Amino acid sequence: MSEGQFVKVFDVLDSGFKDWQFASSGLIFVFFGLLIFFAPRLIKATGIPFMDFKSKMSWLFRYFYLGFAILWTCSAFLATLIIYERHKAMARDHTCRVVEGPVENFVPMPYSGHSNESFTVDGVPFKYSDYGITDAFNNTASHGGPIDKDAYVRICYDPKRNAILRLEIRDFKGPIKNYAAAGGLFGDQGDQHEPRDNLETPSNKNAVRPVLPWYSGLFILLYFVDIAATQILFLPYIRTFFRIGSAPVDSQPIPHALPTNTNIKLRNTIICWDQPNHTIWLRPRGFNRLRLMFTVAKLSTDTKQTAITKREICFSSGIPIAMVLFFWTAFQMFSQTMPANRAGPSAGKGIGIRIIFMMIAGYIRLRRDRARMQLLVQDALAELQTM
């Protein structure tokens, strides 16, 4: 490549229609809308109370939900497609504005996001982010993008929002990558998103992937282990759950045909008689299980193993540990990615505020889950009487 030659690193004509991923996310809601609309009996069989379609309000909900899902998906697709076609026509017909010059006032985006990358060329401002929904150029330097503070560029752009439709860099020495593929609905794609270490601006010193301790991902493992152990009613683990509510039972007889140490399916729950510990364990099943992932019930029996005398609602003992590990990981990540001179609360204060809100939300959630489990326990006790 001869000195002073421009290298094209992005062209909207080459990138194609990238924003279809954003619009396609609405198809998930369309699917559920079709299911609710055409299979109300199937939904009702799941036992979800607000899906009872006898009332007129629920009948209207079916139409509204499906209609809104289809309208949003079509609107998102058409809106992004119209913008893409406009940008493509501007680049193809050379009706876009062109500016050339050195990159000035370059402010890179931190690797974790939270702000846009921005710069000016001959007084024209540009800003973008890998996390934005756009068909224009949006590959930031911290995610492997080609622009830095020393670049000399020629840009074809849409003056409406200064969207970069074609980007050329003079004497570009970086690797030739598909910068048009950067970003998207499903996150980073390939090596074009590796952090750039050659950015020397003070605001970008922390724009690197945080180095977390090896145990930082244990909260994810513990989360799924808890779900699996509760699903199969693994008794050694279930016995560690802590109580969040209890009430006496008027000595309801235990059915003689009820086997021990075997999972028995009832209408809305699954039970297992832990006879050595004088306990019948109960967990939700079906869609009730999705709503009460970490909650079980403990039905205590008398010493003769003939009657149920007490019921307790218990919550997972592993989830609080997983949450502690999660917030510790978040603290480690934010403390590494936040610049030292950043205005506002520190990483510790930021995580502390989130913990307070999570505790308030968790308390409300526990009260709601306890009430739902009490209804399931009453239903199970009524069913046990008929066995």
- In this structure, the number of other CB atoms found within 10 A of the CB of residue 368 comes to 12
Domain hosting residue 290, numbered range: 210-387
Is 144 within the bounds of a domain?
yes
Within-domain flag for 5:
no
Residue 259 phi/psi, 5-degree rounding, is -75, 160
Q: For residue range 107-116, what is the model confidence (pLDDT) as tens digits?
A: 988 876 667 8
- Beginning with the edge strand found earlier in the chain, give each strand of the sheet holding 117-121 in spatial order: 104-107, 117-121, 124-128
- On whether residue 10 sits in a domain, the answer given is no
Which of 14-23, 70-79, 210-219 has the lowest average pLDDT? 210-219
Q: Is the pLDDT of residue 214 over 90?
A: no
- Report the range of poorest mean pLDDT among 31-35, 86-90, 289-293: 31-35
pLDDT at 156: 94
Structure tokens at 360: 């308030």
Nearest CA to 260 among 291, 224, 301?
A: 301
One domain, residues 192 and 56: no
> At which of 92, 117, 151 does a domain end?
92
Q: What's the pLDDT score for residue 44? A: 57
Task: Specify whether 382 is located in the same domain as 291.
Answer: yes
Q: How many angstroms separate the CA atoms of 51 and 32, rounded?
A: 12
- Dihedral angle at the C-alpha atoms of 181, 183, 184, 185, nearest 10 degrees? 150
Q: Looking at the domain assignment, is residue 12 inside a domain?
A: no
Q: Which residue has the higher pLDDT, 126 or 336?
A: 126
pLDDT digits (tens, 9 = 90+) for 184-200: 444 444 444 444 444 44
Does residue 11 sit within a domain?
A: no
Q: Is residue 253 located within the same domain as residue 385?
A: yes
- Are residues 263 and 235 part of one domain? yes
pLDDT at 185: 41
- Answer yes or no: do 23 and 170 share one domain: no
Question: In terms of domains, do 258 and 337 share one?
Answer: yes
Residue 26 contacts residue 72 (beta carbons within 8 Å)? yes
Q: Exposure string (b/e) for 204-230, b if CB count within 10 Å is 16 or more?
A: bebbbeeeeeeebebbeebbeebeebb
How many structural domains compose the chain? 3
- Asked if the structure places residue 6 within a domain, the reply is no
Q: Percent helix, strand and coil across the chain, each rounded to 5?
A: 45, 20, 35
In a domain, 9, yes or no: no
Residue 208 scores a pLDDT above 80 = no
Neighbours of 64 (CB within 10 A): 12
88 and 102 assigned to the same domain = no
The pLDDT value recorded for residue 180 is 62
Single-letter residue type at 340: A
Looking at the predicted structure, is the pLDDT value of residue 62 above 80?
Answer: no
How far apart CA 34 and CA 62 sit, in angstroms, is 9
387, 243: one domain: yes
Indicate if 288 and 344 belong to the same structural domain: yes
Beta-carbon contacts of 131 under 8 Å, excluding residues fewer than 6 positions away, are: 113, 183
160 part of a folded domain? yes
Highest mean pLDDT of the ranges 60-64, 69-73, 108-112, 216-220 = 69-73
Query: Between these two residues, 193 and 212, which has the higher pLDDT value?
Result: 212
pLDDT of 165 reads 92
Q: Are residues 110 and 216 in the same domain?
A: no
Coil/strand/helix, residue 62 = helix
33 Cβ partners below 8 Å, 6+ apart? 65, 66, 67, 68, 69, 70
Among 203, 233, 264, residue at a domain's last position: 203
Domain boundary among 60, 92, 124: 92
Residues 137, 44, single domain; the answer is no
Contact predicate 91/180, CB 8 Å? no
Residues 189 and 256 in one domain: no
